[in-house]
Structure 1
Amino acid sequence: MLLLCSVGLLRKISFSLEWQFCGLGTLALRELETRHPDLTWYTTGQYEPAQGFYERYRHSSHSPWTDEQHPCPHF
């Protein structure tokens, strides 16, 4: 029997400087949320600029997010 944890991990996702602030990160995460609507999302500690992005994104997201450091035993 396969048990799924229902936690999606976003780890070390980045865009080069010339592609930042043009909406690609938001578009990518919205696509993931659309394709996997039953997941709770989790991101590891990010570089400071990415922390701000994720914090802003979570406020507009319709998916649940967790701040737990170990949201699932297999992480």
Structure 2
Amino acid sequence: MSNKKLTWSVVHGMSTTRWAYDIGYEVIVCADACADPDPRAYAALLDESVFPDSWIGLWRIARVLPTSQINELRPPQAD
């Protein structure tokens, strides 16, 4: 995997998430910035504990993190 990174925060961007993963990006999904009108679909895509055997779970191809943890991933700013 390369050093390319993509952070995606829209559940309906699943095809974009898959595409980014397929071309070598390290994908991070911001879970609390995602939404779906069907809470079951949201859970199936983002919460591994709900459907651990789900083939569509984004956790299989991306790191699914809350906003607070994504902010911690930023490299320190140069002075």
Same fold judged by TM-score > 0.5? no
Structure with the higher fraction of residues in strand conformation: 2
TM-score (norm 2): 0.43
